[in-house]
Structure 1
Amino acid sequence: MSRIIDAKGKACPMPVLMAKEAISAGESQFTVLVDNTTAVGNLQRLAANQGFDASVEEKDGAYCLSFLKNGSLPVASAEEPVCAPAPSAGYAIFVGRDIIGDGDRELGTNLMRMFFYTLAQSDDLPRSILFMNAGVKLPAGDEQVAQHLQTLLDRGVEVLVCGTCLNFYGIADQLAAGTVSNMYDILTRMQEAGKVISL
């Protein structure tokens, strides 16, 4: 009988970390119980990155994700190049605010928009752009920034947006560009990067 991990009521990124612990322990089959769709999405991404199939079943307001090791895929095959940090590992941008600088707010807003416009035109692109705290208001509320982010997505840049932060500000349904993510994935991208630029 496969192990059952009860992660209902656990805040991000605990469900992902609990599942990762089971994978690290060598378990090839286990079940994770959660009670929100954000956790479901995070766990499905973890499963795909770690060489697992994850089927989802909803019952009585809870979600049951059954993890099963896929023997035809090596563990973390999709992430292999990223998991070997090196001086050439590229860079990530961490955005924890919705303006640049501490001065005038209107100026800070315009600077942020210009930053992402300029970045979208650049030949030296980051691997990942990571949004947390008030930074999530940019892909979920600023039309100009969202357009620039879409250009970056089209050019292969990964955009991760903190789901807990979106929910805190009540703007999860307004996300216009990027993928709802969690602390585990965002921290992993920072650890894998050759350098991290913070705005």
Structure 2
Amino acid sequence: MSDSSLLNEMVDAFKCLPGVGARTAQRMSFHLLEHDREAGLRLASAIQEAIEKIGHCESCRTLTEHDLCKICSNANRDASKLCIVENPSDVIALEQATDYRGYYFVLMGKLSPLDGIGPEQLGLDLLEKRLESGEVAELILATNPTIEGEVTAHYLHELAAKQGVQATRIAHGVPVGGELDYVDSGTLSHAFDGRRAY
């Protein structure tokens, strides 16, 4: 590695990204410095502006530049349906893959007491107020099928039951194009238990 402390700082800065280790961070740094300094300046400017201007939606907690995100400010959506997801990227995935037209609530994580993540960190007080309003008829639990995601879904189901709101869980199972002998036993078990009329 070069003796440049600025280069070392740049490499260390790239290592904060998920999946980027020392070698990848070094390659990214050298690429920008050797081949595309203008792109590096655009990247730095875009990151700085995003960090300074993007916050959380006051209603659903997703990332946005405004007080309310584009979805929450759309009065044409179905207010009786509220889909709970772990991350803002889950909202994008559901919007692109489904015809769901209700609202969302983004937890920004999942319950994990060992990591110090409880109901307060997930904004569940705000969610409880939305459920108390009586507007939500169905709470769609779309947390990931991990242990923490399942615990979170169970907690949310109980929260909904206290308010008399129906809670549903997205189906988990065999992916389209998948073959049964390649599917792990947990996924196969979920798929078999969640079977429905054809």
- Greater RCO, CA 8 A, separation 6+: 1
Is the shorter-chain TM-score for this pair beyond 0.5, marking a shared fold? no
**TM-score for both structures, normalised by structure 2:** 0.29
Q: Give the structure with higher Rg (CA).
A: 2
**TM-score for both structures, normalised by structure 1:** 0.29
Which structure: greater helix fraction? 2
